[in-house]
Amino acid sequence: MEKFKLRYLLRAVIALLFLMAGCASQDKEFTFARTTFSFDHEMQPFDVFTEYRISPGDILDVLFQIQTWVEKKNFKLGVDHLVSVSFVHSPELNVEQTVRPDGKITLPYVGEVYVVGKTIEEITRDLKKDFSTILQSPDIYVMVPEFNSAIKELKKDLHTAPRGLSRLSTVRPDGYATFPMLGDVKVAGRTIPGVNDTLNSKYEKMIEGLHCDLFLEKKSGSSIYLVGEVKRPGGYNIHRPTTVMEALALAGSYLPSARLSNIIVVRKYEGKMVAKCIDLSDSFGLKKNSSFFYLLPNDIVYVPKGRIARAAEIASYISSIAFFRGWGASVGLNYTYQLHREPSTYDYEDEDLD
């Protein structure tokens, strides 16, 4: 076994020396193109994610800002506002009540009065009219000692957490996250700004002046999957778009039996699995027009041992290994097993892959 390892190492060193000698003698520099699947070409530059989409397991941080200092013209009463009604000449009639969910308060002699959606001036005018037949001089003053008890309760709830006016929320496997007062909101597959806009729209309807900023506290990690003739098959976390060559390095490189000219990359697109054949021997051989192919999260890289003739062989091999290792749900293989032709490349259903 040790002799085999030594022999393999010597061959690799000799090959490297020949390659270096050839490069030194030619004294040339090579420029590699960068590419990926045709339907994802707009993601350039390929080595960064053009936009991040929330995934199950991500931890979101919601920072609340309660803008009670903002001037509000034509302030109108709402449910849960505390209302104080004072009678100058009849202080025994003074009341202080919270507006009920039905939008009303109850006053002596006149009974229930609807106040939601009215300004202080409008309520004062209506009460003076109602009490004009009861009191000789209905001098009435209406005040709102507490603007919104819901804000007070939210502050109290958030301040119980060590993070102050913020709350951490973990995205569940079903794609939902739970937020204060709102409950469950579907966030998986959406961008941070998009979810932030949705939250602010919902909070503004509940409490005027309540604003939140959404941050990504912790990323669950994005994975690619390598199977076939690699030293350590399995799933590997990536934090940026990764080339096929880099992916092989994560898996400990390829085995001597690997067919580098026939590597298959599978990506989910519009509910289907799309396959593309990558000739990595071009890159290792520094051939003209060689390119680096960039992978995205959940891509599957299959390094075959020999020639693959048809798409059915790819689908059968990858699906069996993926489900055996429990990757099916995470890589989306439950959508369909049909592999579709990448435009302007091989038609896997009808042609050989070579």
**Which residue ranges form the domains of the chain, and what is each CATH number?**
23-51+221-341 (3.10.560.10), 59-68+155-218 (3.30.1950.10), 82-146 (3.30.1950.10)
> Residue 330: CB partners within 8 Å, gap ≥ 6?
223, 235, 298
Lowest mean pLDDT across 5-9, 57-61, 106-110, 157-161: 5-9
Of 121, 67, 71, 115, which Cα lies nearest the Cα of 95? 115
What is the maximum alpha-carbon separation in the chain?
113
Residue 184: is its pLDDT beyond 90? yes
> What local confidence, expressed as pLDDT, does residue 259 receive?
87
**171 Cα distance to chain centroid:** 9
Q: How confident is the model at residue 145 (pLDDT cuts 50, 70, 90)?
A: confident
- d(CA 80, CA 69) in angstroms, rounded, equals 19
> What local confidence, expressed as pLDDT, does residue 231 receive?
92
For the chain, give the mean pLDDT: 75
- d(CA 101, CA 263) in angstroms, rounded, equals 65
- Give the H/E segment covering residue 169: strand 166-170
> What local confidence, expressed as pLDDT, does residue 309 receive?
46
In this predicted model, what pLDDT tens digit does every residue of 227-262 receive, in sequence order? 889 999 988 888 888 888 889 999 998 898 888 888
Residue 68: is its pLDDT beyond 60? no
DSSP SS3 for 112? strand
> What local confidence, expressed as pLDDT, does residue 349 receive?
38
In this predicted model, what pLDDT tens digit does every residue of 315-346 receive, in sequence order? 666 565 555 444 444 444 444 444 545 544 44
Q: How confident is the model at residue 98 (pLDDT cuts 50, 70, 90)?
A: confident
E-strand spans in 27-94?
Answer: 33-35, 59-66, 82-87
Q: What is the pTM of this model?
A: 0.55
For 127-136, what is the mean pLDDT?
A: 88
Residue 182: is its pLDDT beyond 90? no
> What local confidence, expressed as pLDDT, does residue 106 receive?
92
> What local confidence, expressed as pLDDT, does residue 197 receive?
94
DSSP SS3 for 149? helix
DSSP SS3 for 307? coil
**305 Cα distance to chain centroid:** 37
Burial 302-335 (b: 16+ CB within 10 A, else e): bbbeeebeebebbbebbbebbeeeebeeebbbee
> What local confidence, expressed as pLDDT, does residue 20 receive?
54
Residue 314: is its pLDDT beyond 80? no
- Give the H/E segment covering residue 201: helix 192-206
Beta strand pairing call for 140-146 and 82-87: antiparallel
- Give the H/E segment covering residue 318: helix 311-324
Which of residues 128 and 15 earns the better pLDDT score? Answer: 128
- d(CA 153, CA 76) in angstroms, rounded, equals 20
> What local confidence, expressed as pLDDT, does residue 37 receive?
79
Q: How confident is the model at residue 59 (pLDDT cuts 50, 70, 90)?
A: very high
In this predicted model, what pLDDT tens digit does every residue of 260-298 receive, in sequence order? 888 888 888 877 778 888 888 766 555 666 678 888 888
DSSP SS3 for 137? coil
